[in-house]
A and B are shown apart, each in its own frame.
Chain A
Amino acid sequence: MSLLQVQVENTVVDVEHDGYSTITIYGKPVDASIDYDPQQRARGLEGKSGMDVLQSIDMMDFEGNIAMLLRAILKDQQQPVPLRTGTYSIEVKIISSRTPLEIPLIGVLKSVIDGVNKEIVGNDVTIYEAVIKYSVAKARSRKILSRPDDLLSVNLYTIDAGIKRFVVGFDKVPIHVVPKVKPRLLDDEQQSLWWIYNEELQDQVATALINDGMQIPSGGPKRIDMTFIDDLVSKVDIDNMARVVYPILFNIGVSDDDVHSIYLVKQAQTGGQKSSVHVVVQ
């Protein structure tokens, strides 16, 4: 293990790595909420017009469909919607002829979680585990196809005292999967304001790792595990924390195309533990 001290803007971040597969970034996990929600608007990020942000119509629709599919099953079973508060785990599986380069798993996980948020799980901060797995399907001719050749499974569990219990889900539904994409802005300059620290973190940590000889073997398929440890993890979305760290892997040479599964876990800090993000690529 080698320990690095990385300067990110005016802070120093401790980073540990083993040279080929594990990285630990110490300090509070950072989140990147890119929702252009009313709260952020209230914080003064709204443009002059109020009509300045256009989310991808396909993505919004996909998220709406995820909510609908799960809500329909829950209502059919006379279960309350949204579900009672608790601790949740979500598992997403995609079988597709498209490559993970076309449908990056981190982005798909995010759009599925956003679909589940509020409508199925009252608040997505209660999701403590999120898993996405990909497997390749044989391509069919897209010209004549009238049904999507993506098959999506989404299953939701509660976690209670370490025991997982199935709540609701669907398996192998043909639906055209849409990963999270950044919204279009009428005024593009707005966006850059928010990202400076995160981008700086992603660049500086990656550069320090490369300079120190970190080299993740190329090729795939790869599995990525990320564990977020902090006393405040209960307040931060797991997918948003992952979206800050993930580009570091990209910057040190991990291609979306090779990532076939991602396992995210967030844990409350226990005695003696430091706040950190622990990443394993294998």
Chain B
Amino acid sequence: MIIPQFQSMLLATRSGGQFKTSARWFAFQRKVISEVYGEFKDIHKLKIYLYLCKHYDSNLGMVKKSKRKINEELRYVKKVSGKIKYSAKVRKSLEWLEQEGFIERVSNHKQKWYRSKIRVAPDYNIKTKQFIPCDEFTLGTKELKEHKHGYIMVPFQAIRNRSMLASTSLAKRTWTKQRLQAFLLLYGYCWLEFYGGIDPDTVQIDAQGNLILSQRFCYALKRSHKDTVKTVASLIKDGLFIPVECLFEDGVYMGDVGTYSPAPNSNTLNRVVLRPKYLIAHKLDSAVMKLKKGNLRL
């Protein structure tokens, strides 16, 4: 599939002003999106889980969001004959997430306020099709890495409570489970130091704007290549991911096209890389990025 308006998008990145930085980020566990993992029973559970991951305070070890707050921020509140009514969907989703081992309620059940914490996502028994809680691990980026639990670094600002996660008809229509998971998984392949964006072997874009995704990326989403390409193209159309021409030297990103002149005999390759609109600030400021010959045009 050819990305619509491809050439004008490339042109626009040359003048800058396309990308936003986010100082805060949160971890979304990679194993949740995979061909050998179970399904969230419905979209509410996925969105509420993502919301809790986003607002998890690792210093406090909890999400400081009461049920009421969740209901309000995600627009589950209804007014029935003048009275405020909370949705059973939120309650049921939280119960399901707790029961399957994704979260743990940390406030006392008798207490009125609700507090939860994110757990290391449960393992999935493919034989019995059951989630098996991971009590033996504690949540922390170092511990996750040591035990082969990958995580996706998601810029805090990339996930919008109201337009993406809320229970409004617009958010429900636009942000389906597949689209949300594709969105997160794209961030999982984003590595600015090496690629200047998303791994170009996973998301391949040729000079004509032809979009090809790796098989494994599609399988992880449990979708066909055709379906997934459409989803990714729609994310590009909405400006959430932007194709950029980048220079690679010896297979490693060295800067955006136009930000430096490569030496005439260098092993330089011009590749189109898909870059998320929201970038994590400390990644851009890293020592490695400062050593690049060119730079990443914000």
Residues 107-151 of B at the A interface (beta carbon under 8 Å): 123-128, 130, 132, 136, 147-150
Q: Tell me if B148 and A184 are in contact (CB < 8 A).
A: no
Residue of B123, B150, B227 contacting most chain A CB atoms (<10 Å): B123
Q: Take A61-B34, A61-B150, A174-B35 as given contacts and tell me if A146 and B223 are in contact as well, using a CB distance cutoff of 8 Å.
A: yes
Q: Tell me if B193 and A186 are in contact (CB < 8 A).
A: yes
Q: Tell me if B191 and A49 are in contact (CB < 8 A).
A: no
- Does B42 lie at the interface of the complex (its beta carbon under 8 Å from any beta carbon of A)? no
Q: Tell me if B125 and A49 are in contact (CB < 8 A).
A: no
Q: Take A73-B125, A170-B127 as given contacts and tell me if A176 and B226 are in contact as well, using a CB distance cutoff of 8 Å.
A: no
Chain A nearest Cβ from B132, distance in angstroms:
5
- Does B286 lie at the interface of the complex (its beta carbon under 8 Å from any beta carbon of A)? yes
- In the docked arrangement, what's the CA distance between A263 and B199, Å? 35
Chain A residue numbers with a CB within 8 Å of B224 are 143-146
Number of B residues with CB within 8 Å of any CB on chain A: 44
B149, B226, B286: the one contacting A144 at CB < 8 Å is B226
B132, B194, B218: the one contacting A76 at CB < 8 Å is B132
- In the docked arrangement, what's the CA distance between A75 and B30, Å? 21
A72, A144, A186: the one contacting B288 at CB < 8 Å is A186
- In the docked arrangement, what's the CA distance between A175 and B34, Å? 9
User: B-facing mask of A58-86, CB < 8 A → 1, else 0?
Assistant: 10110111011101110110000100000
- In the docked arrangement, what's the CA distance between A57 and B189, Å? 7
Chain A nearest Cβ from B280, distance in angstroms:
13
Q: Tell me if B30 and A64 are in contact (CB < 8 A).
A: yes
Chain B nearest Cβ from A58, distance in angstroms:
5
Q: Tell me if A147 and B35 are in contact (CB < 8 A).
A: yes
- In the docked arrangement, what's the CA distance between A59 and B189, Å? 12
Cβ-closest chain B residue relative to A47: B288
Q: Take A51-B288, A64-B148, A69-B126 as given contacts and tell me if A142 and B215 are in contact as well, using a CB distance cutoff of 8 Å.
A: yes
- Does B233 lie at the interface of the complex (its beta carbon under 8 Å from any beta carbon of A)? no
User: B-facing mask of A23-52, CB < 8 A → 1, else 0?
Assistant: 000000000000000000000000011111
- Does B31 lie at the interface of the complex (its beta carbon under 8 Å from any beta carbon of A)? yes
- In the docked arrangement, what's the CA distance between A48 and B288, Å? 9
- Does A217 lie at the interface of the complex (its beta carbon under 8 Å from any beta carbon of B)? no
Chain B residue numbers with a CB within 8 Å of A175 are 35-36
- Does A188 lie at the interface of the complex (its beta carbon under 8 Å from any beta carbon of B)? yes
Chain A residue numbers with a CB within 8 Å of B31 are 61, 64-65, 68
- Does B4 lie at the interface of the complex (its beta carbon under 8 Å from any beta carbon of A)? no
User: B-facing mask of A96-134, CB < 8 A → 1, else 0?
Assistant: 000000000000000000010011000000000000000
Chain A nearest Cβ from B83, distance in angstroms:
45
Residues 240-293 of B at the A interface (beta carbon under 8 Å): 250-252, 286-288, 291
Q: Tell me if B125 and A186 are in contact (CB < 8 A).
A: no
Cβ-closest chain A residue relative to B250: A188
A54, A142, A145: the one contacting B194 at CB < 8 Å is A54
Chain A nearest Cβ from B193, distance in angstroms:
6
Q: Tell me if B125 and A72 are in contact (CB < 8 A).
A: yes
Q: Take A76-B125, A119-B148, A145-B224 as given contacts and tell me if A65 and B193 are in contact as well, using a CB distance cutoff of 8 Å.
A: no
Chain B nearest Cβ from A143, distance in angstroms:
5
B30, B126, B193, B291: the one contacting A170 at CB < 8 Å is B126
- In the docked arrangement, what's the CA distance between A71 and B214, Å? 28
- Does A221 lie at the interface of the complex (its beta carbon under 8 Å from any beta carbon of B)? no
User: A-facing mask of B82-98, CB < 8 A → 1, else 0?
Assistant: 00000000000000000
- Does B222 lie at the interface of the complex (its beta carbon under 8 Å from any beta carbon of A)? yes
A58, A64, A67: the one contacting B216 at CB < 8 Å is A58
A81, A176, A184: the one contacting B219 at CB < 8 Å is A176
Query: Can you offer 10 A-B residue contacts whose CB atoms are under 8 A?
Result: A49-B286, A57-B202, A61-B220, A64-B31, A65-B36, A69-B123, A146-B222, A148-B35, A148-B216, A186-B252
Residues of chain A touching chain B, judged by Cβ–Cβ distance below 8 Å, are: 48-52, 54, 57-58, 60-61, 63-65, 67-69, 71-73, 75-76, 81, 115, 118-119, 142-148, 170, 173-176, 178, 184, 186, 188
Please name 18 further chain A to chain B contacts, defined as beta carbons within 8 Å, in addition to the given A58-B216, A76-B130, A146-B218, sorted by A numbering: A51-B286, A61-B34, A65-B36, A69-B36, A69-B124, A69-B125, A72-B123, A72-B125, A73-B127, A75-B123, A75-B132, A119-B147, A119-B148, A144-B225, A147-B35, A170-B127, A176-B219, A184-B252
